[in-house]
Structure 1
Amino acid sequence: MTSIKKNLPDEQATIELGYELSLWVSAPLVIYLTGDLGAGKTTLSRGLIQSLGHKGNVKSPTYTLVEPYELKGMDIFHFDLYRLLDPEELEFMGIRDYFTEKSLSLIEWPDRGHGLLPDADISIHLGYQGEQRQVELNGLTPAGQQVVAKLK
């Protein structure tokens, strides 16, 4: 497993990490984002999605569960499973159809979809370290390890 930790002193640093990731990600890839409320999961996702070319706002899909984007020949799906009451709800929305050879999936609160989500290529955990945030990125598959290794 390839792993790195970084300090993120402010919101801009979190967005810039999303930009760094955008330089190296390619489909198919599944990224799990974990951490407490307000830790920066959506901010990191916004930085990544906008760096891939999205011009509008990137809002948290807390109520819709997923926001789709088509950028750079990839289907990008930003999931937020925080409000998911039962993982079976994912079956009703056809969750398996989202994970294809063309998809890059960013999944916030992946533990809420346990058993119905594919394994992560990269896990990203954001937490608080005093007044700033700290992020830990783990490459869990060969594809994920390649991306994380580029960030060192």
Structure 2
Amino acid sequence: MSERATPVPTAQRQIALPDEAATRTLGARLASLVRIGDFIALTGGLGAGKSALARALIEARLARHGLHEDVPSPTFTLVQTYETPDLLLTHVDLYRLERPEDAAELGLMDALDEGVVLVEWPEKLGRLPKDRLDIDIRIVGEGGEREALLVGHGSWARRLDGLKG
């Protein structure tokens, strides 16, 4: 008799992002939920708002500790890190990555031991952690309105309830 893999619990939530302020609010709300070991996969087309959401989350988490840093997109550096007293925030942009094997050199899984890893273009990694939050941002209106589909896997399935309100 073969063993079946235990399914990882999932939950989803769709959130309207009519403007930059709504994106910043979502980032701040997520900042209060993240903890060491979290992997957040950010998908969406070019210009969808992946970097804006990651920036908002990072800035809000830094602000909780009275810290402020510029948070540029890591498009050219691939990886940017930000230290807070309680965890390390690692922001990664894999747009320019050619092969999944190249990601191993970035030490992303090691970064999970110290904090949160936010990855733009996560599909370039190949395999993703089972316990993660997927955020797909789409442009839905002519005025730049967007919506985010959040899918929580594993522990994030329960934590998505923290986004209510």
Q: 2:40 maps to which residue?
A: 31
In the TM superposition, 1:36-115 aligns within 5 A as: 36-53=45-62, 54-100=67-113, 102-115=114-127
Q: SS at the partner of 1:104? A: strand
Matched, 1:128 2:143: no
Matched residues in 2 for 1:14 and 1:40: separation?
A: 8
User: Is residue 36–residue 112 contact of structure 2 (8 Å, CA) maintained in 1?
Assistant: no
1:56 CA displacement: 1.8
Q: SS at the partner of 1:28? A: coil
Number of residue pairs aligned between Structure 1 and Structure 2: 149
Report the CA distance shift for 1:81/1:30 in structure 2 as closer, same or farther (over 3 A).
same
RMSD of aligned Cα (Å)? 1.5
User: Is residue 124–residue 138 contact of structure 1 (8 Å, CA) maintained in 2?
Assistant: yes
Which segments of 5 or more consecutive residues in structure 1 lack a partner in the other structure?
none
Matched, 1:147 2:156: no
User: Is residue 25–residue 147 contact of structure 1 (8 Å, CA) maintained in 2?
Assistant: no
Which segments of 5 or more consecutive residues in structure 2 lack a partner in the other structure?
1-9
TM-score (norm 2): 0.84
Matched residues in 2 for 1:42 and 1:111: separation?
A: 16
Identity of aligned residues (%): 37
Matched, 1:5 2:14: yes
Q: Residue type matched to 2:86 in 1?
A: G
Matched residues in 1 for 2:97 and 2:139: separation?
A: 24
